A and B are shown apart, each in its own frame.
Chain A
Amino acid sequence: MKVLVPVKRVLDYNVKARVKPDQTGVDLSNVKMSMNPFDEIAVEEAVRMQEAGTATETIAVSVGPAKAQETIRTALAMGMDRGVHITTDEDLEPLAVAKILKAVAEAEGAELVLMGKQAIDNDYGATGGMFAALMDWPIGQYANTLAPGEGTIEVKREIDGGLQTVTLKLPAVVTTDLRLNEPRYASLPNIMKAKRKPIEAKTPEDLGVDTTPRLTIVKVTEPKTREAGVIVETVAELVDKLKNEAGVI
């Protein structure tokens, strides 16, 4: 089956976000950017499916600025076949991204779209579900384990109460959770090889997708920081403080 993996370039998970003084958003100048970690898990899964012979072709697609090409290269270096880059300098909402992905998935004839359950920058957790609805495809959110079958895929999902297993008819969407796999590091030879893999570039206009935002950002602020507390010397002192000072036990 043909597998499509959307990948997003985001602020690296190890970097603390800083709000811009004018409160219009988070400062992304001169900071380390990486592939969204959940997308890395999706890429890894696609590559494993290819190695196992269940995926016939794997395509990484990124919607983002010129530099998002690096994110696609990372996916290619991990082993995916080729890339599609939808270039835009706008910070698109998940709805617009889902519409773009629909156009790409239809053009490519994708049968399985593996994607991150959330992007760790805007934390919407919405693109996968939106894309699935636009395609009228079933979705397996928060995948812990995948088992592809004949025209189906079984998804063990991480839910609030534990684990749930569902079978989806293909074509389908699966979103990844942290326990699905541990993404590999790309080897140097594979990084070199990835430089020669094809990346096709298009714009949202080429695809005829309307990307008008549905929300306005009024402002973005720093959250309240907690007051520094005290270091207690003994467990007895801790219990005393919790009981008599904080009154929480």
Chain B
Amino acid sequence: MATLVVAEHNNTSLSEATSKTVSAAKALGTDIDILVAGQGASAASEAAAQIDGVRAVITVEHDLLARQMPEAMEATIMALMDGYDTVMAADTTTHKAYMPRVAAKLDTQQISSVTGIDGDVFERPIYAGNALAYVKSTGGKKVVTVRTTAFPLSGDGGSAASESKSVEIGDTGSTFVSEELTKSDRPELTGAKIVISGGRGMGSGENFALIDTIADKLGAAVGASRAAVDAGYVPNDYQVGQTGKAVAPQLYIAVGISGAIQHLAGMKDSKVIAAINKDEEAPIFQVADYGLVADLFKALPELDAELAKIGY
């Protein structure tokens, strides 16, 4: 019995999502190996070996794995699955893109975006988080993606064995062309301690500067509602919600966001929620710990000034 955790990394660095996935895997009580599938990924593999609770780090390198394309990931994992009864990965777009492929090849049902594990029972939100389903496998291998915000870091100080394996990958029918990555010095949205998000109420992309200033003061990540992304105010990777990213920071500040169920699905597990909205009837106030009924164009500069007063 062993679990294969697939690392979230970009070859040069390992994302915290990997350690959180390991901590989810620990709940299964089996040996845990990490797969680092990449190209020139030794730095990521070394970092993975430090995670507490890991038996071995298996590195597979291939041109087609440089960006972990779904078809190549499927081939890689299928080549290793004889030794494992569970494969687990974070529910980021990288892993969500190929894990169903692995599940289909194993003739099993993927258990997606798990938020809790108790024995053999997996908890997962459905219907935009308005219901929680508890499911268990009827047999066969398990393919699990986890919502990393629901699991703590696994800790470090591990000393996993390292192994390299090579895998044959045939013609995948898919070619990488280009990438436009959003550049930011701010913390990653799903791992940030504070997130400040803007919605349609921001009115324009330029107005997001009001949010950026506060984010920089607080060391926060910046998010957005779907409406703000659709309107082109901010890039798609800012979207928080049922069909965007799930976040659960210590503090979530929603500005000019009404609080549609699809948005709430991605942030209602935050420890503290603050909302600024000019409409006192906005549903966001029903989940906010602190609500401020105000025009954001007045409130955000004031917030900036008040933060300065306490040393930010």
Interface residues of A (CB under 8 A from B): 11, 13, 16-19, 26, 38, 93-95, 98, 117-118, 120-134, 137-142, 144, 154, 157-169, 172, 177-179, 213-223, 226-232, 234-236, 238-239, 241-243, 246, 248-249
Contact = CB atoms under 8 A, between A and B. Distances in A.
A93 B107 CA distance: 12
Contact of B131 (A26, A138, A218): A26
A19 B236 contact: no
Nearest to A129: B100
B172 interface: yes
Interface in B287-312: 287-294, 299, 302-303, 306-307, 309-310, 312
Interface stretch (B25-33, B155-163, B267-275): B267-275
A105 to B, nearest CB: 14
Contacts of A130: 100-101, 103-104, 110
A17 B242 CA distance: 14
A231 B285 contact: yes
Given A123-B126, A154-B177, 12 more contacts: A117-B243, A133-B104, A133-B105, A139-B174, A141-B70, A178-B230, A215-B111, A220-B131, A239-B310, A242-B251, A243-B310, A249-B310
28 contacts: A17-B130, A17-B131, A19-B130, A19-B131, A95-B107, A123-B125, A129-B100, A130-B104, A141-B70, A158-B236, A162-B181, A162-B237, A164-B180, A165-B177, A169-B174, A178-B230, A178-B243, A214-B107, A214-B108, A215-B109, A220-B133, A223-B125, A226-B268, A227-B289, A231-B293, A238-B292, A243-B310, A248-B272
Contact of B93 (A141, A226, A227): A141
Sort A-B residue pairs by CB-CB distance and give the 5 closest, nearest first: A129-B100, A17-B127, A133-B101, A130-B104, A138-B173
Interface stretch (B42-50, B54-62, B80-88, B134-142): B134-142
A166 B175 contact: yes
Contacts of B124: 123
Interface string B251-280: 100000000011000001001111000001
Given A117-B243, A133-B100, A172-B173, A239 B291 contact: no
A130 to B, nearest CB: 4
Contact of A223 (B69, B101, B113, B131): B131
Interface in B115-158: 121, 124-140
Contacts of A16: 130, 261
A230 B288 CA distance: 8
Given A129-B98, A220-B132, A235 B104 contact: no
A150 to B, nearest CB: 14
Contacts of B178: 164-165
Instruction: Please tell me the size bucket of the interface on B.
Output: 35 or more
Contacts of B140: 214
- For A121, A154, A163, the residue with the greatest tally of chain B CB atoms inside 10 Å of its CB is A163
- For A19, A131, A241, A242, the residue with the greatest tally of chain B CB atoms inside 10 Å of its CB is A242
Contacts, number: 275
A227 B273 CA distance: 11
A163 B236 contact: yes
Interface in B158-213: 172-182, 194
Chain B contact residues: helix, strand, loop or mixed: mixed
A248 B312 CA distance: 13
Contact of A239 (B105, B113, B273, B303): B303
Contacts of A18: 130
B290 A95 contact: no
Given A215-B109, A215-B136, A220-B133, A167 B100 contact: no
Contacts of A137: 173
B112 interface: yes
A248 B252 CA distance: 10
B92 interface: yes
A163 B93 CA distance: 11
B229 interface: yes
B187 to A, nearest CB: 14
Contact of B134 (A26, A128, A220, A242): A220
Contact of A229 (B105, B127, B291): B291
A162 B103 contact: no
A219 B302 CA distance: 47
A178 B226 contact: yes
Interface string B210-238: 00000000100000001001100001110
B13 interface: no
A231 B103 contact: no
B285 A246 contact: no
